[in-house]
Amino acid sequence: MASGIISVAAHDQRRDCVSAALAATAAVVWTGLLVLTAARVVLAADLVRVDLQSPAKGFDFFTLVAAAGVLGVRAAIAGWDRIGVALSLFGALAWLVLALSMAIYRRSVTPAWWSASGNWLLAAVATQSLAVLAGTLAGAGRAGPLQWVALTCWVIGLALYAVPMVAIGARVLCTSSPPARFTPDDWIVMGALAISTLAATGLLGGELADRTRALLADAAVLTWAVASSLVVPLGVLHLRGLLRDRAARRYQTRWWAAVFPLGMYSVATHQLAATLGMHPLESLACIAFWVALGAWSLTAALAVGSARTSIRPSS
């Protein structure tokens, strides 16, 4: 997800070499993770079922859908529409399977609000990624039904954002321990709004009623404004958590959850500026891109260092 969206951001900023390298990285990593996930489903179905029942892990499966949507958008940008269509079909099918599986396995499980984190919003992010991909493909010459698919996904994505935010807000306000107040996943609170902005702006180029277009434009500006207002508070909370908790400074895969929203914010800001003529925002999109690329580079370096440490033979 992180590599894919920063590839799109790099394309927006006309950094073609960076965009191509990150797109290739995203495709390879996603394919590898898809194979590993399929193998785990086949070989360890019981463990997968337990994960789907877990509030802390279940929503993580939606990253498979979100990443497929991002890769599909990047493929469509490159002119590979058939790959984009294939990824959209895969993402929609995976979304349905995950939604049904979680509904079945969680009937007897009540998620605790104090365990709520930004990863609960991954269902909303995955849904909006399908909206963005459908809108991109519609803009590539497939107008009509795809526009309504994108609009439907956008509405569902907003609904899936609102409900978990109540639990996340309660956790932040009612817990006193700094690690409990913030996790890297909480950046998704901003990223989910940014991708909602991107989905809305993508629909503005379609053949919709004037009232619908006006509503989408207002919603795009509103979601972007709220996302923008969250960047500094999230950054402060993240920094405070790193300073107060030594364990939080060690590499963890959750750090990638903070990289994706930064890249998404850059893409959403660029598209908002281009679609609504808010050209001064292009500078902000450029700044956000370099921040996201820096965060990606740092996280990737730490991931490599952690992997080398873990496989180094003990003396």
Tokens representing 87?
A: 């990824």
Residue 257 — left, alpha, or beta (φ > 0 → left; ψ -120 to 50 → alpha)?
A: alpha
pLDDT band for position 178 (cuts 50, 70, 90): very low
| Cα–Cα distance, 244 to 254 (Å, whole number) | 18
Query: What confidence score (pLDDT) does residue 51 get?
Result: 84
End-to-end CA distance of the chain: give it in Å, rounded.
37
| Cα–Cα distance, 123 to 116 (Å, whole number) | 14
Of 93, 73, 92, nearest to 83 by C-alpha is: 73
- Mean of the pLDDT values across residues 81-99? 93
Tokens representing 265?
A: 């914010």
**Are 52 and 106 in contact, with CB atoms under 8 Å apart?**
yes
**Are 230 and 189 in contact, with CB atoms under 8 Å apart?**
yes
| Cα–Cα distance, 230 to 193 (Å, whole number) | 10
Query: What confidence score (pLDDT) does residue 179 get?
Result: 45
- Estimate the share of the chain in helix, then strand, then coil, as percent rounded to the nearest 5: 85, 0, 15
Q: Does domain 2-297 have CATH number 1.50.10.150?
A: yes
Given a cut of 70, whether residue 113 has pLDDT beyond it is no
Given a cut of 50, whether residue 85 has pLDDT beyond it is yes
| Cα–Cα distance, 265 to 281 (Å, whole number) | 11
Given a cut of 50, whether residue 315 has pLDDT beyond it is no
- The residue to which tokens 């399929």 are assigned: 38
Contacts of 9 (CB under 8 A, 6+ apart): 263, 266, 267, 270, 285, 288, 289, 292, 293
pLDDT tens profile 251-298: 778 888 889 999 999 999 999 999 998 989 999 999 999 999 999 999
Query: What confidence score (pLDDT) does residue 197 get?
Result: 96
pLDDT tens profile 128-174: 999 999 988 887 555 578 888 999 999 999 999 988 887 777 766 66
**Are 287 and 214 in contact, with CB atoms under 8 Å apart?**
no
Other residues' Cβ atoms within 10 Å of the Cβ of residue 224: 26
pLDDT averaged over every residue in the chain: 85
Question: 169 or 44, which is more confident?
Answer: 44
- Mean of the pLDDT values across residues 10-17? 93
pLDDT band for position 181 (cuts 50, 70, 90): low
Q: How far, in whole angstroms, is CA 247 from its chain's centroid?
A: 25
